[in-house]
Copies of this chain bind each other. A is one copy, B any other.
Amino acid sequence: MCDHCGCQEKKRVLKLQKHLLEANQDLADKNRALFRQKGVKVLNLISAPGSGKTSLLESTIKALKEKIPLAVIEGDPETERDAERIRAQGVPVVQITTGGACHLDAQMIHRAFHQLENHEFQILFIENVGNLLCPSSFDLGEDLRVVLVSVPEGPDKPAKYPAAFYKAQIFLITKIDLLPYFDFDLEECKRLALAANPHLRVIPLSVRTGEGMDEWLSFLQGLVSTSRV
């Protein structure tokens, strides 16, 4: 190992991480087959901490739970706080506490999904660990990846964290009720996101005012009505 930089160690870690990602991919593909077999649509929500993933899920569940059976897997480094918030909405939820680990992986989801097998649901939301970087590398077997950026975070995030956007289908710009208080150029944010991934569907919304929620909820209903369940 060279004295000052750990190059050799780094190369070995990178090589093993590549293997680990491949093993994750294999299991993600198995998860995907399992989800299809059970007739469940699975969404993986990725964002920085505090972008409003849990609040969005609370509002979404309130609006849809009488129409579509839902379930949630919550990922956090520590605490059951988010699971408690979701449980209060009356839908099945499994909390994964990663013990500080910076992302969910396909294995964690595989186990959590088995904990949900006594429940019937058509959409499963996975709230990933609050981190705009590491979760992007780990396929969980989801049908759709949703990336969120909130207005207070600033419009430049798609340029600075493009990897989170490459593999996503949906980009939610959250907390748009705060636009009057921030120097946040919505069009610029959309433009940067579409530069990273031209196939993104962008939905700006606010759970507080309800603006944009109709589009999000219709999108979710469309997922189920077009499924082959």
A202: min CB distance to chain B, Å: 18
Task: Out of B4, B17, B161, name the residue touching A13 (CB < 8 Å).
Answer: B17
A211 an interface residue at 8 Å Cβ cutoff?
A: no
A162 an interface residue at 8 Å Cβ cutoff?
A: yes
Q: CA A160 – CA B130 in complex, angstroms?
A: 9
What is the interface residue range for chain A against chain B? 35 or more
Quick one: copies of this chain in the complex?
Answer: 2
Against B, the Cβ 8 Å flags (1 = close, 0 = not) of A162-199 are 11000000000001001001000000000000000000
Task: Out of B1, B79, B131, B163, name the residue touching A132 (CB < 8 Å).
Answer: B131
Residue of B nearest to A136 (CB): B100
Are B159 and A50 interface neighbours, CB within 8 A? no
Q: CA A206 – CA B119 in complex, angstroms?
A: 47
Against B, the Cβ 8 Å flags (1 = close, 0 = not) of A2-23 are 0011100110110011011001
Against B, the Cβ 8 Å flags (1 = close, 0 = not) of A131-166 are 111100000000000000110111011011111000
A39 an interface residue at 8 Å Cβ cutoff?
A: no
Q: CA A23 – CA B3 in complex, angstroms?
A: 9
Closest 8 CB pairs of A and B: A50-B153, A6-B23, A152-B152, A102-B133, A48-B48, A5-B107, A13-B16, A48-B49
Can you list 18 residue pairs at the A/B interface with Cβ under 8 Å?
A5-B23, A5-B107, A5-B110, A6-B19, A9-B16, A9-B19, A9-B23, A12-B16, A77-B133, A77-B162, A79-B159, A100-B163, A102-B102, A102-B131, A130-B132, A150-B152, A152-B175, A181-B181
